[in-house]
């Protein structure tokens, strides 16, 4: 019988989310319209993160792609912050930044244009599963 404990369900969703998030890096993430070639999630992450140092990118529409590159380091910080209840505010700030950067990614897709593929959708799903706990209030210990 499934557990009725929401905290346990969120914990299981988070653990599954780690695997989904990780798997996305090995799958096709995006492609250009009219092309069969695709870019894997790991390459997207690398391209966007390394271009952080390119000042010309920050002066173009491509800055939205750079923001998407910072989602993965923000996710690592978020996961690290889960180990202390004292970091709840930091977790919420990181979760909000991740959502904002993700919205920027979709705007970038529409401007460039790029077509998101399975890797992108699993990346987003994994993040959603990991971050879901922030949407639900935790019970205070009595």
pLDDT at 9: 84
Name the H helices within 1-142. 6-24, 41-50, 55-58, 63-69, 71-81, 88-111, 118-131
Note down the domain range covering 55.
6-135
Condensed to tens digits (0 to 9), the pLDDT of residues 17-54 reads: 999 999 999 999 999 999 999 999 999 999 999 999 99
Task: Check if the beta carbon of residue 12 is closer than 8 Å to that of residue 29.
Answer: no
Is 140 within a domain? no
Q: Going edge to edge, which strands form the sheet with 28-31? A: 39-40, 28-31, 115-116
When divided into structural domains, the chain yields a total of 1
Is 36 within a domain? yes
Condensed to tens digits (0 to 9), the pLDDT of residues 70-101 reads: 999 999 999 999 999 899 999 999 999 999 99
pLDDT at 138: 64
pLDDT at 29: 97
Is 116 within a domain? yes
């Amino acid at each position: 019988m499934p557990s009725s404990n929401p905290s346990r369900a969120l914990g299981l969703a988070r653990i599954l989310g780690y695997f989904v998030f990780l798997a996305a890096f090995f799958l096709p993430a995006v492609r250009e319209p009219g092309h069969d070639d695709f870019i894997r999630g790991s390459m997207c992450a690398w391209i966007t993160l390394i271009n952080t140092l390119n000042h010309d990118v920050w002066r173009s529409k491509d800055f939205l792609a750079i923001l998407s590159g910072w989602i993965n380091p923000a996710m690592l910080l978020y996961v690290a912050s889960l180990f202390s209840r004292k970091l709840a505010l930091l977790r919420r700030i990181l979760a909000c930044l991740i959502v904002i950067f993700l919205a920027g990614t979709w705007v970038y897709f529409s401007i460039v244009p790029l077509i998101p593929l399975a890797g992108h959708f699993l990346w987003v799903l994994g993040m959603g599963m990991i971050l879901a706990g922030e949407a639900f209030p935790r019970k205070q210990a009595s």
